[in-house]
Amino acid sequence: MCLSAPKRLWAVTISAASVALSSCGGDLTKILPLAPGALATGVSRFQDTESTLIAEFQNDDRTLRYLSQGRYSCGYPTDPEVKKTTRIKNPKRYVVERYEANSVWTASVAVIKAYSDYLQEIVDSDTADQATIKELAGAVSAVVTKVPATAPYGPAVAPVGTLIGDFRRYATFGQLGETAKIMDRPLRIAVARLESEYPTLQGGQQAAFRLWDECAVDKLNYLLQVSNPSFAATYGPNVGQSSGIELAKAYEAYQVKRHEFRQTPDIKQLLDDILTQNEKLQKDSSKVTAQSLFNAGKDVVAAAEAAYGVASKPAASASR
């Protein structure tokens, strides 16, 4: 029996399968949506900024009170926001608890996190299976190499690891795509709810920024006016007059901080990215269809049967 032609058929089948998979990307982690993780990081940064603003306001207010021996403070003492903010003992905990107290927000975030974690589990499972498949392929190759009677079939069984690995990868692409498809509607609901709740939570940071900004300017004004006799008579000359260079440096430092506090993540864009990337995952995975997997399977079986000298069985009747 001449085995050369079937072996070539086998090689062609392997090549076709590899090309199909490479078009979807060999590294599955590269097609996973990154937006859910980016959202979690963005929200954390947003909370950190707000808590830092509160802490900075409290520090500037205490400094101003100390310099003026309690005669001068930030903002209006009767302002409810000023009263509340000066009494916050742990700014970080306060901000986090404010987010957690919003049940709609926390429930929606949980949906996105669970979805992201599940996709990662699918990829991790595939990675573990690929390692096992590689071990299987090595065992098969060892048998063919050490048993002389199987030598003629070596070229036919050598690609077993590639074929099984590719089929496992096909299944993984399909699982990722189906998950993305099933989760499309729940994700849209979760994103819509987060977008509706975000302005309220964002308002807390905006209020904290306003208080800090006003307080920082108040402290600068105090340092600027301490040499003014009428001002000193009211608030006390407890510091020496600052030089122009000192005041310039203090003002520049204020401007730098102000700019940094303005550089907060665009949560709205991160939420939009979640939906965009989920749609992309559906489209990318759909390139590997169930029909393409079935057709590739038939080609592999036919090549294997020909290589081993076994006649291919006729396709089952549709009526059966």
DSSP string of 152-185, one letter each residue: GGHHHHTTHHHHHHHHHHHHHHHHHHHHHHHTHH
Phi, psi of 3, rounded to the nearest 5 degrees: -100, -5
| Residues of the chain with confidence (pLDDT) below 70 | 1-27, 143-159, 227-243, 287-320
CA dihedral 280, 281, 283, 289 (to 10 degrees): 170
Q: Characterize 79-117 residue by residue with b for buried, 16 or more Cβ atoms within 10 angstroms of its Cβ, and e for exposed.
A: eeebeebbebeebeebbbeebeebeebeebbebbeebbe
| Residue 215 and residue 82 in contact, taking contact as beta carbons nearer than 8 Å | no
Residue with tokens 């189906």: 178
3-state DSSP helix/strand/coil % of the chain, to nearest 5: 80, 0, 20
Length of the chain: 320
CB 114 within 8 A of CB 87: no
For residue 255, the model assigns a pLDDT of 94
pLDDT of residue 95: 95
Taking the mean position of all CA atoms in its chain, how far away is CA 23? 24
Q: Are 74 and 82 in contact (CB under 8 A)?
A: yes
